[in-house]
Amino acid sequence: MPEATPPTIKPSQPTPLPPLPPTIPPPTYTSPSIVTPQPPVATKDEIASLMSGIEALYERKITLLELYRSGEVSEGVFRKLYNEYDGKLGSFLKARETKVGELKDKLEEKNKRLSEISMKLEELEVRHKVGEVDSTIYTQQADSLRAEERELTMVSSKTLKTNISSLENLLSGKRPNQIRDLENKLKACLSDLQKLVAEGKVTEETFKTVKPDIEKTLAFFDSLIKENKEKDRNLREQLETLQTRYKLSELSVEEYERRKRELQTEIDKIWA
């Protein structure tokens, strides 16, 4: 009889291992991006040139009005030059407003970035305290953020605020007494032109053309020295009261003269 074939024993299959739990990567911290400071929208020299140009055009218009009222320039030439100067002044003032807007937008960006840096520094400090960020990385990134913060605060933002202030302060190159002189000249021009119209030496059309602009400029000058005028008025009232008290023999000559000099000095300082 043939020998029986021994049964084939299949090797047992290994029991599959349970799946490994998902690997949790160690926490990472993204290094803060450094924002390169951008050049200013307008340089100090550009702003100075713009503002001096505005001052010059205000003075030029007033001088032209004085020449016209004195009969030194014909009506045709007066109107041509007045319109030219007025147009240039309008362009300069518009450019000023545009630059102020640009600088304020830039300042807002800087302030926003400063807020972001402050939050990043706080976040970085917390991550360091809980052990997520080691001391070396913490120091490097904190120093980098603080350096940017100093640059934005001490240089960029300070420069922007200075330039905005320079643009907003029209006629800042003029002393109060100089602005008052311009105002007085312009008031005299307006008064004389009204008389010349009545006398038929200046046409109604020309007067109606320049009158609104003159009145607008007078209101502008007044706004610049309004506080000075108020202080001057109060001091002159005190001076008048002092004189009255002296006439009524309430004060000695020495006391009167001393107080009078003090008040006059204060008045002079207002317009210096």
Q: 0.85 cut: is pTM over it?
A: no
What was the pLDDT predicted at 192? 96
* pLDDT tens-place string over residues 76-126: 999 999 999 999 999 999 999 999 999 999 999 999 999 999 999 999 999
Rounded CA-CA distance 63/58 in Å is 9
CB 146 within 8 A of CB 41: no
What was the pLDDT predicted at 4? 46
Mean pLDDT score, 199-214: 95
Q: Which residues contact 194 (CB under 8 A, 6 or more apart)?
A: 207
What was the pLDDT predicted at 15? 44
| Residue 38 to residues 55, 77, 121, 204, Cα–Cα distance (Å) | 30, 47, 22, 54
Domain ranges of the chain: 41-173
